[in-house]
Amino acid sequence: MFIVFEGIDGSGKTTLSRKLQNFLLLRGIKAIWTKEPYTAYIREIVINNKLSAWEETLLFITDRSIHVRELIGPKLEKGFTVICDRFYLSTFAYQGFGKGIPLEDIKKIHRTVIDEVKPDITFLLDIEPYKALERIKSRGNFSKFEKLNFLQKVREGFLELAKEETNTFILNGEKNIYQLLGEVLEILSKKIEIFHLKEK
Ligand code: TYD
């Protein structure tokens, strides 16, 4: 099963997705946790350079292609549950809605480069950008993507995308982590039941 967590910077995806992995591991489920950007070298280029929106788009898609080929695809084939912190909705929301690259163009490249692996379920952690920025400030390091008006566009993008994307659930990122984990587990348990019914 392939589970994706999405949301703006500071929305709490990393903490929640890690908690889910620990929960599954304690129950004997083979689960790995991974994130995007995946490759350290592409992350370094994108984060530390002034690039055009198209250059960023192509680099993030390249990074994802490597991620799927090297890690996600093989692990899914071996029967692991893969939990991924960010996937294609991040590129649609940040480079599409945030930076104005036409969505159709991004989607077309995606279909060509990475078509075979799709999330079974996506959780979108939604939070007011100013609250997310307060959390980031308390961590003490800002990246070039973490500006209020930009994150507002990205947040709206995520919400818009979530409406069209199948099996996508919006969670209120302002709730406490255990409440959120409870909601994730409840949704997953229903989803797993459906999987089992389909298999029968
Ligand atoms: P982030 O999740 O913060 O990674 P790290 O914990 O390694 O810093 O991702 C870095 C930034 O990259 C973040 O601000 C969101 C941005 N990003 C995009 O703009 N598009 C994408 O497709 C992805 C995967 C990330």
pTM for the full predicted model: 0.94
Q: What is the pLDDT of residue 111?
A: 92
Question: What was the pLDDT predicted at 198?
Answer: 52
pLDDT tier, 116 (very low <50, low <70, confident <90, very high otherwise)? confident
90 C-alpha to center of ligand 1: Å?
8
Residue 200 has pLDDT above 50, yes or no: no
Q: What is the structure's pLDDT at 143? A: 72
> What is the Å distance from ligand 1's center to 177 Cα?
21
**pLDDT of 146 strictly over 90:** no
CA–CA separation, 188 vs 24, rounded Å?
11
| Residue located nearest, by CA, to atom 10 of ligand 1 | 37
DSSP 8-state class, residue 58: H
Structure letter (DSSP) for residue 93: I
Q: Rounded to an integer, what distance in angstroms lies between the CA atom of residue 149 and that of residue 44?
A: 24
- What is the structure's pLDDT at 145? 75
- The strand pairing partners of 124, in sequence order, are 6, 170
Phi and psi, residue 123, nearest 5° = -110, 125
42-51 long-range contacts (CB < 8 A, ≥24 apart) are 42/66, 47/143, 47/144
Q: What is the pLDDT of residue 5?
A: 98
Percent of the chain having pLDDT more than 70?
A: 94
Cβ neighbours for 41, distance < 8 A, ≥ 6 positions apart:
none
pLDDT band at 137 (very low <50, low <70, confident <90, very high): confident
Query: What pLDDT shows up at residue 193?
Result: 63
Give per-residue pLDDT as tens, 36-75.
Answer: 999 999 999 999 999 999 999 999 999 999 999 999 999 9
- For the ranges 33-42, 69-78, 110-119, 123-132, the lowest mean pLDDT is seen at 110-119
User: CB-based burial of residue 194 (10 Å sphere; 0-12 exposed, 13-18 middle, 19+ buried)?
Assistant: exposed
Q: Per-residue pLDDT averaged across 80-85, rounded? A: 98
Is residue 93 pLDDT above 90, yes or no? yes
Ranges of each domain in the chain: 2-195
CA 57–ligand 1 middle distance (angstroms)? 11
Class in CATH terms, 2-195: alpha beta
Q: Which atom, in ligand 1's list, is nearest to the CA of 98?
A: 19
Mean pLDDT in the chain? 93
